[in-house]
Structure 1
Amino acid sequence: MTILAYVVGVLAMAFGVAASIALHEVGHLVPAKKFGVKVTQYMVGFGPTVWSRRRGETEYGLKAVPLGGYIRMIGMFPPRPGDAPGMLRASSTGRFSQLVDEARAASLEEVKPGDEDRVFYRLSVPKKVVVMMGGPLMNLLIGVVLLTLFVTAHGLPTAQPGAQVASVAQCVVPAAQASQATSCAGKPQTPALAAGILPGDRFVSIGGQPVRELTDVGRLVRPAAGRAVDVVVERDGRQLSLSVTPIRTQVAVLDDQGRPVTNADGTVQTTEAGFLGVTSSSPTAWVPQPATAVPGILTDSVVRTAAALVDIPSRMVGVWNAAFSGAEREVDGPMSVVGVGRVAGEASAGRLSSLTGGSVTDRLWFLVSLLAGLNLMLFVFNLVPLLPLDGGHVAGALWEGTKRRWARLRGRPDPGYVDVAKALPVAYSVAIVLIGMSALLIYADLVNPVRLG
């Protein structure tokens, strides 16, 4: 059943990613056709065509590698100034110039008689921006819809009164030696481990005293060194009574908020007191939020996504070390679609209950949040003003509008269309970098994946 749930999670995420890509391309397709641009292909995926069907002048189809998609519009790049209509000059001698000429020729080769006014480059600047922004905005819309459903119907994790077990230490180590300890050899096991306390247990009472706040755990355990106390915990909806004998050892001095108190030199102050061997955290519950909270949550998500995107180049060093040196992957580091699929599978199989919650419904909602985050990432990523990303075409259109406005202000002739094809060497370089990063992330996700939960 666990394997089946894992497979279902992976397939569900794969379908969600494919649907997001398909809708992204619809975001380009609809305004392009609305503005009269001739669209010859609408494809989801890359590589060999698996299935296709022509409707009118457009071929719709699926490719073998579902890691992207595209629509083919005629006349993406304008002819060079001075070229006769329908004619192209011979290629230049420079390699990059040849690439530009080949791309220009490919964009014009489908321009048939009568299509001269249906080319993309003849669109006004606002229409070019609308066509190229249609894809990212579709991802934003998907992300907003899914995030709104998640926040208002399922809710956000909200701290609740009381305390629960976040982790259980395996052995007793004095606080002053904790930072240097690397092994439990020769050290006694912790009272919590011996008593059978487990991560996720919620403290109900300690020594007959109710646990209402996080700081109650230390307050009730520390004076009980060397004597047995009854600890009542809630586990899987049932209350269990356990007998625990806290051991006397060096522990950190805590302030009123339960935080360690440090000396002037930064070292932690210690004292002798009862030690249980658990790390406690506040219990959380999924609390639905009002719709008015969505804009703030959405803004925060987009800002964090943009910050993570900017940080990706530096994070790739850690990914390389994890892939080839066995270093541990960063929990909040980048991952490929393979890694996202694995996370979806583990969540569906119940292996990430600390993140998703325990019920099947909680796991389904986690997949919704994962897909919402993925679409917000696609929105932000495609806004990067570099070809071949949508943001690169938007930047070219805006530059064209700026040049024309400046020429009008100075009383000069219309400078004409901006030749985005001249930026293709940059586009090829960006594409090579993106392919390399994707290959590294996929390899790292296979040999040393990110461990969540």
Structure 2
Amino acid sequence: MDTVLLYTLGVVLFALGVAVSIGLHEVGHLAPAKKFGVKVTQYFVGFGRTIFSVRRGETEYGLKAIPLGGYVKLVGMFPPHPGEDPTRVRKSNTGLFTQMVSDARSFEYEQVEAKDQDRLFYKLPWWKKLIVMSGGPLVNLGIAFTLFGGVFMLHGVAVPTQTISVVSECVVPANAPARECTADDPPTPAADAGLLPGDRIVGFNGATVESWDDLTTLIRANTDGEARIEFVRDGERQTATTNTTVNTVLDLDDPEAVVQAGFLGVSPTTELERQGPVFVVQQMGTYTWETVKALGQLPIRLYDVGKTVLGLQERDPNSPMSVVGAGRVAGEISSDHTTPAVDRMISLIMLLAGVNLFLGMFNFVPLLPLDGGHIAGALYEGVRRGWARLWGRPDPGYVDVAKLLPLAYAMAMVLVVMSVLLIYADIVAPVRLG
């Protein structure tokens, strides 16, 4: 198939996957809200101008022009000002921030009728608010778990074997730029021993080797000592003797760090091996923790992206991307003729799973306007009311998250700037495969 057509197909499939993920995220809010009796007036995927909408009962469902998010309009997110009739919220205040909050309350109650007073979101028990606001990001995490789990259990994971795929010609530190061997580079112990691609290593210094991990551990611990290697070539068991050397290699516990350890100079072949549920849970735990760490480093990484946009440095291939950048990666994956079609499809699924994992965790950040801000408010309300009951004090009432709206508006501006920066960077200095 034509490269351009494949590229376009990859972008379209990825965009559809993201749109479906956004739609399901909003269903995660919509379904429990309706279950708990909250009045829901709108369910939209996208922002901006409405392309299509249809009304079913009291709720309008539709699509908007800018497919960068979605929303569900839950009536009564903010309680009225203390002492005021919720149907007659005051509309004039002194002070910019006070006016912002007052205007937001007024907008909340424009669609509230007398019969809706028991269907306002803020009147829900704190644990129901928690379920409604957690539903969206939990759906994203569920999508990620399902996609990753499907790949791991049905397709399999590439597992290194004891069979050699590549014998390095010379010793080059793992953190050195990729280059050709020179006359000044010493040969690797594996090349010196005469090992060849296709050899299957079964023993090292008298120890039986049953996996690539076994061999890696033995080689690294051997530093620059003598190495007696047993291997099978063309069905015949053979032995070679050499000395491993100390080299700069990647840390097994932290792939971004390097250590000094024994080095042989061989790379393994890999085989697909289907995994079980335990592996899926462990891997999802690892991915989730890595995502949390990435979120913690997001300000620094965005600063680096800004330097890239200004031409001060090259784009880090591990830097954050917008959905535009992820779409470009999807197109490159689809149009890579050197990779089998099945592997390309698996890579697209993994990319979409990663996007859902990030979106889910990002929405748990406890700041408005993200879902995490409302989740934090619900948890605080539960703790505050529980503490009052424990000490026999009067009920402190609902938590008024509207008071945090000035911070929410500031955070919204930060998100807009972040999105614009990443989209621009993905256009002028995109992350590319390889």
**Per-residue CA distance 1:367-396 (angstroms, 9 max, x = gap):** 111111111111111111110011100111
Cross-structure match for 1:193? none
Write the distance in 1 (CA, Å) between the matches of 2:386 and 2:7. Answer: 56
Match of 1:338 in 2: 324
Residues 92, 99 of structure 2: 8 Å contact kept: yes
For 1:415, the equivalent position in structure 2 comes to: 396
The amino acid that maps onto 1:290 is G
Mapping 1:348-359, distance limit 5 Å: 348-350=334-336, 358-359=339-340
Indicate the SS of the match to 2:114. Answer: coil
**Helix, strand or coil at the partner of 1:161:** strand
Cα distance in 2 for partners of 1:390, 1:148 equals 26
Map 1:45-444; keep pairs closer than 5 Å.
45-165=46-166, 211-212=199-200, 256=244, 259-260=246-247, 281-325=267-311, 327-350=313-336, 358-444=339-425
- 1:411 shift after superposition: 2.3
| Code of the aligned partner of 1:7 | T
User: For 1:183 and 1:144, how far apart are their aligned partners in 2?
Assistant: 39
The SS at the match of 1:43 is strand
Name the CA shift for 1:255/1:80 in 2 (closer, same or farther; >3 Å): farther
Contact 1:335 1:441 survives alignment (8 Å): yes
The answer (yes or no) to whether the contact 2:309–2:429 under 8 Å persists in 1 is yes
Q: Which amino acid aligns with 2:22?
A: I
CA RMSD, 1 decimal: 3.4
Partners of 2:370 and 2:172 in 1: CA distance:
52
Distance 1:87 1:324, change over 3 A: same
Give, in angstroms, the shift of residue 343 of structure 1: 0.9
Between the two proteins, the alignment pairs up a number of residues equal to: 380
Find the aligned partners of 1:420 and 1:303 in 2 and give their Cα distance.
29
Alpha carbons 1:255, 1:261 under 8 Å: kept: no
Alpha-carbon distance between aligned partners in 2 of 1:165 and 1:392, rounded to the nearest angstrom: 51
TM-score by length of 2: 0.79
The answer to whether residue 427 in structure 2 is matched with residue 446 in structure 1 is yes
- 2:166–2:197: 8 Å Cα contact kept in structure 1? no
Following superposition, the deviation at residue 425 of structure 1 comes to 0.9
CA–CA distance in structure 2, aligned partners of residues 367 and 379 of structure 1: 18
Query: In the superposition, relative to structure 1, how do residues 362 and 39 fare at CA in structure 2: closer, same or farther (>3 Å)?
Result: same
1:25 match = 26
Residue pair 2:159, 2:270 contacting (<8 A) in 1 also: yes
CA displacement at 1:398 relative to structure 2: 1.2
**Rounded Cα–Cα distance in structure 2 between residues aligned with 1:82 and 1:119:** 17
**For 1:38 and 1:30, how far apart are their aligned partners in 2?**
11
Q: Structure 1 pair 80/166, CA: closer, same or farther in 2 (3 Å)?
A: farther
Relative to structure 1, the CA distance from residue 154 to residue 110 in structure 2 (aligned partners, 3 Å threshold; closer, same or farther) is same
Instruction: Say if 2:165 and 2:197, in contact at 8 Å, map to a contact too.
Output: no
- The 1:408–1:325 alpha-carbon spacing in structure 2 relative to 1, beyond 3 Å, is same
> What SS does the corresponding residue of 1:61 show, helix, strand or coil?
strand
State the 4+ residue runs in structure 1 displaced beyond 4 angstroms.
165-169, 181-184, 205-210
Question: 2: CA distance between counterparts of 1:41 and 1:82?
Answer: 29
* CA distance in structure 1 between the aligned counterparts of 2:429 and 2:272, rounded to whole angstroms: 31
Please give the alpha-carbon distance, in whole angstroms, between the structure 1 residues aligned to 2:100 and 2:158: 52
| Alignment deviations for residues 136-158 of structure 1 (CA, whole Å, 9 cap, x no partner) | 11111111111110101112221
Secondary structure of the residue aligned to 1:373 is helix
SS in structure 1 of the partner of residue 392 of structure 2? coil
Q: How far apart, in 2, do the equivalents of 1:414 and 1:91 lie?
A: 29
Q: Residue by residue, what CA displacement relative to the aligned partner does 1:217-272 show, whole Å, maximum 9, x if unpaired?
A: xxxxxxxxxxxxxxxxxxxxxxxxxxxxxxxxxxxxx963x65279xxx9x9xxxx
> Could you report, residue by residue, the CA deviation over 1:154-201 in whole angstroms, capped at 9, with x for unpaired residues?
1222112334459999xxxx979x97x9999xx99x9xxxxxxxxxxx
Letter in 1 for 2:140: N
Q: Which moved more, 1:137-146 or 1:38-47?
A: 137-146
CA distance in structure 2 between the partners assigned to 1:153 and 1:449 by the alignment = 32
Letter in 2 for 1:335: M
Given that residues 29 and 134 in structure 2 are in contact (C-alpha distance below 8 angstroms), is that contact kept between their aligned partners in structure 1?
yes
Q: CA deviation at 1:109?
A: 1.2
Instruction: Return the letter of the residue paired with 1:155.
Output: G
Residues 335 and 442, structure 1, Cα contact 8 Å, conserved in 2:
yes
Q: Distance in 1 between matches of 2:357 and 2:287?
A: 8
1:211 deviation in Å? 3.7
- Cα distance between partner residues in 2 of 1:74 and 1:417: 16
Shift of 1:365: 0.9
Letter matched to residue 247 of structure 2: P
Note if contact 1:331-1:450 (Cα within 8 Å) is conserved in structure 2.
yes
Match of 1:274 in 2: none
Q: 1:398 to 1:210 in 2, by over 3 A?
A: closer
Residues 255, 330 of structure 1: CA spacing in aligned structure 2 closer, same or farther, 3 A cutoff? farther
Distance 2:409 2:167 in 1: 48
The corresponding residue for 1:251 is: none
Q: Residues 65 and 168 (structure 1 numbering): CA distance in 2 closer, same or farther, change over 3 Å?
A: farther
Code of the residue aligned with 1:120 in structure 2: it is F
Query: 1:409, CA displacement in angstroms?
Result: 2.5
Task: Give the residue type in structure 2 aligned to 1:338.
Answer: V
Letter in 2 for 1:448: A
Q: With structure 1 as the length reference, what TM-score do the two structures score?
A: 0.76
1:250 equivalent in structure 2: none
CA gap 1:341/1:326 in 2 versus in 1, 3 angstroms: farther
Q: Distance in 2 between matches of 1:69 and 1:209?
A: 52
Shift of 1:126: 0.8
